[in-house]
Amino acid sequence: MIVVAIALNTFKEAVRDKILYVLFAFGALMILVSRAIGWVSYGSGEKIMADMGLAAIWIFSGMVSIFIGTGLIYKEIDKRTIYTILAKPAERWQFLGGKYLGLVLTMLVNLTLLSGGFLIYLWLSNAPVTMGLVQALYLTFIEMMVLTAIAIFFSSASTPILSAIFTTLIFYVGQVTKWIVELGAGNPPWVQKMLYTVYLFLPNLHNFNIRDKAVLATENGLAVPYAELGVVTVYGLAYASAVLLAAHLIFSRRNF
């Protein structure tokens, strides 16, 4: 499979990127430190530890997505390695898809290692380890799939710095779109309708944030019912696919 070949190659390339290790180290550090901070608290030390750990994993996975993803396509073009690849019978969508999957694979490995370490650390510190935490980490992975797609979209269209800026902006705005909608209250209806439309089309990354529910999970340790998890996954995959399709639209017409 051509897509698989390119994906594996991308994975090898990403794994050699130093920034991955720097970010991973920071994430691990934050997880380790969280225990000390939780220890200081009067009660609820485990909640603070879990909160910080989940937030660390989320933030650093996001940064991996942004930093590595935005440079990906640009590096190929800049280094001209793309010429020999596109001249092959491979289709352009296979190239794009392979890049995306390779990055997702990198993300998966990164997330699994951090999450595994985090859960083991929690268990060693006698903090509760529930299925809800796993659910929250799973949705963080889906969120990263969407973010990576957006990073690749910008990467295939512009320079790394601009791509990084745009992707980071969307990463932030995507967290608070729900509240932005409510800014419209008190304004004329057309403003409200417009805000609502914009809300629907911007990625609502807050959908993937069930971390607060996961940490305070009570009934049978689940943060959300599995059905809701499924719906959110569908949202994530649909949105990521739409973005990749748009990236392909631009990429397939591009002259090298």
Binding part of the chain for other proteins, among 66-74, 118-126, 152-160, 248-256 by CB under 8 A, reads: 248-256
Q: How many CB atoms lie within 10 A of CB 98?
A: 23
Report the distance separating Cα 69 and Cα 204, nearest Å: 20
Side-chain half-sphere CA neighbours of 217 within 13 A = 22
- Establish if 6 lies at the interface with other proteins (CB under 8 A): yes
* Residue 237 CB coordination number (10 Å): 14
To other proteins, the closest distance from the beta carbon of 94 in angstroms equals: 9
CB 98 within 8 A of CB 7: yes
Which residues between 61 and 90 bind other proteins (CB under 8 A)? 79-81, 83-90
Provide the 3-class DSSP secondary structure of residue 175.
helix
Question: Which parts of 205-234 interact with other proteins (CB under 8 A)?
Answer: 205-207, 209, 211-213, 215-216, 224, 228, 231-232, 234
Instruction: Classify residue 215 as exposed, middle or buried by CB count within 10 Å of its CB (0-12, 13-18, 19+).
Output: buried
How near is the Cβ of 123 to other proteins at its closest, in Å? 20
168 binds other proteins (CB under 8 A): no
Residue 18 touches other proteins, criterion: CB under 8 A: no
Contacts of other proteins in 86-115 (CB under 8 A):
86-91
Candidates 22, 33, 55, 157; binder of other proteins (CB under 8 A) is 55
Contact 133, 54 (CB under 8 A): yes
Segment interacting with other proteins (CB under 8 A) among 19-27, 104-112, 127-135, 198-206: 198-206
> What torsion, rounded to 10 degrees, do the Cα atoms 85, 86, 90, 94 define?
90
Taking residues 29 to 48 in sequence order and writing x for each that binds other proteins by CB under 8 A, - otherwise, the string is --------x--xxxxx--xx
Q: Which is nearer to other proteins, 161 or 245 (CB)?
A: 245
